[in-house]
Structure 1
């Protein structure tokens, strides 16, 4: 793969930023940090959804036995304040023009258990060029 010299600087900066974050992530583990760190890698690198702890134990990134996995979950500790600070220091992703790039889930799958604004509920609406579904604000006592 050929990468331009301009791209190499950007990739190097991105690699350095991820490396700094991984260092802070590891440092925020106050107990069983090695196991928790490998569990994070296994979770991120597993192909598809992780439904059980066994899925994580079988991932190549988790190099320890299943006993360490359970030990990490039961006895591992994370300094949440330190991790929060590390996340807050991460730069915001920006497009070429400097605009912030935000990730949003725009899939058509319904998520009835997802968090929504207070006072909103799910309802079907019709007549807008076909059936559409939306969240609308409901008054208290409105049936």
Structure 2
């Protein structure tokens, strides 16, 4: 058997090594542990929602949970990727690229918040380190307040 050739980053690649590439590819963009736990708690309270859905059809961004009739969009942000003020630690390798990436993520988050709010949506953002029970309770209360009232005949 012949040995597999050593992996080499293509010119201009974001991956600084084969190990870094594997690590970055393994990071989930949805269905993270904090998301799944919060969804389970919200579902247990009888609320139904869309997962990883676009709140606005013409906005190419998805929320982690979308309550369409109540117009509530929920985002559970990872501390690293969204620049948590408590837990974000700048990377040691290729720091310019990754720090700029996080800054762009934060800018996109603010732009998303603004566009959804202008369209009449309530945006709820939680950090992955926040207690899931507290997040789920706040989501349930917010949705209940904004849920459309049934029309009387």
TM-score range, shorter-chain basis?
under 0.3
User: TM-score, with normalisation over the residues of structure 2?
Assistant: 0.26
Larger fraction in helix? 1
- For the pair shown, the structure with the greater C-alpha radius of gyration is 1
User: TM-score, with normalisation over the residues of structure 1?
Assistant: 0.28
